[in-house]
Amino acid sequence: MRAEGGAGVTPLVTLRGVEKAFKSGTVALQNVDLDIRDGEFLSLLGPSGCGKSTVLRIVAGLTTISGGHVQWRGQPSLGFVFQEPTLAPWSDVFDNVWLPLRLNGVSRRDARAPVEEALANVGLTGFERAYPRELSGGMKMRVSIARALVLKPAVLLMDEPFAALDEITRAKLNDDLLSLRANLRTTIVFVTHSVYESVYLSTRICVMAPRPGRVVAEIAVDPSVVRDEEYRLGPYYADRAREASTALHAAMGASKCA
């Protein structure tokens, strides 16, 4: 099925009335409706503790839900990038990126081409033999992204991937992520608590509110607008940022604590 993400096409993933209560009694999510559409860059924007990670884990099938339902169209292959690089410290860069292939029975020899390609995509050619410890925070995150991309997933799930990085590294990685997406045409779901990051990257932003976690607003960002420094300084960007910011504040105000 070659869908283009327009209205009427079944989304890649559909969440309807999803509820998640932990054994501790915490209701992390209540009545969450969310679609993940082909080719989009969807940001989940919200304060910490509003259930963004939980949504991502549900989409990845890593946790169960206590109500509602989740529908995957076919069996979309997934890639996952965590807030921490989460690399195996005992493996070098090549072996870390090889891991998803290896778990699928691909030998080291057969993995060479796809691993090299994934590393080239994140600008890390030549670092195959380095150990995670020897890399900077930004480079580790690039390895983590290469690992998530090596199976050419239909959907790339990213949980605040750049939150721990400095501003300059973060801006660079944002741009690199955008060009990666342009080349690979991967659907991306990106969790962030930064209004500016979400407006810069996304084609659609879902604003979430805490206690209980739910989606309270949706902001569309024109996908045809080129994302560069000019975009960041222009009025369209400022308007979207204000819109997202207002929605975020309303969401925080609606909940009991700030």
Residue 27 engages other proteins in binding (rule: CB under 8 A): no
- Three-state secondary-structure class, residue 116: helix
Nearer to other proteins, 11 or 132 (CB): 132
Residue 78 engages other proteins in binding (rule: CB under 8 A): yes
Nearer to other proteins, 30 or 96 (CB): 96
Q: Which residue has the CB atom at the shortest distance from Mg ion? A: 53
Site for ligand ADP in 201-220 (CB under 6 A): 213
Residue 127 engages other proteins in binding (rule: CB under 8 A): no
Residue 103 engages other proteins in binding (rule: CB under 8 A): yes
The residues pairing with 135 across neighbouring beta strands, listed in sequence order, are none
Please give the single-letter amino acid code of residue 236. Y
* C-beta atoms surrounding 162 within 10 Å: 24
Residue 198 engages ligand ADP in binding (rule: CB under 6 A): no
Report H helices in the chain: 52-59, 93-103, 108-121, 137-149, 167-184, 195-201, 229-233, 235-254
Decide if 188 contacts 181 (C-beta within 8 A): yes
Site for ligand ADP in 31-90 (CB under 6 A): 46, 48-54
Stretch that binds ligand ADP, among 3-11, 18-26, 148-156, 245-253 (CB under 6 A): 18-26
* Cis, bond preceding 11 (omega within 30 deg of 0): no
Answer with the entry of other proteins, Mg ion, ligand ADP, none that 49 interacts with (C-beta below 5 to 8 A by kind): ligand ADP
- How far is the C-alpha of 54 from the C-alpha of 195, rounded, in Å? 20
Q: Which of 53, 121, 187, 203 binds Mg ion (CB under 5 A)?
A: 53
100-113 burial by CB neighbour count: b if 16+ within 10 A, else e? bbeeeebeeeebee
Stretch that binds ligand ADP, among 23-31, 84-92, 128-136, 149-157 (CB under 6 A): 23-31
* Eight-state DSSP code of residue 96: H
Residue 86 engages other proteins in binding (rule: CB under 8 A): yes
Phi and psi based region of residue 185 (left: phi greater than 0; alpha: psi -120 to 50; beta: remaining):
left
Decide if 98 contacts 132 (C-beta within 8 A): no
Q: How many residues does the chain have?
A: 258
Stretch that binds other proteins, among 8-16, 30-38, 88-96, 249-257 (CB under 8 A): 88-96
- How far is the C-alpha of 12 from the C-alpha of 14, rounded, in Å? 7
Residue 126 class from Cβ within 10 Å (0-12 exposed, 13-18 middle, 19+ buried)?
exposed
Site for other proteins in 32-71 (CB under 8 A): 57, 60-62
In angstroms, what is the minimal distance from the CB of 150 to other proteins? 10
Q: Which residues bind Mg ion (CB under 5 A)?
A: 53
The residues of the shown chain that bind other proteins, judged by CB under 8 A, are 57, 60-62, 78, 80, 82, 84, 86, 88-91, 99-100, 102-104, 131-133, 151
Q: Which residues here bind ligand ADP, judged by CB under 6 A?
A: 22, 24, 26, 28, 46, 48-54, 213
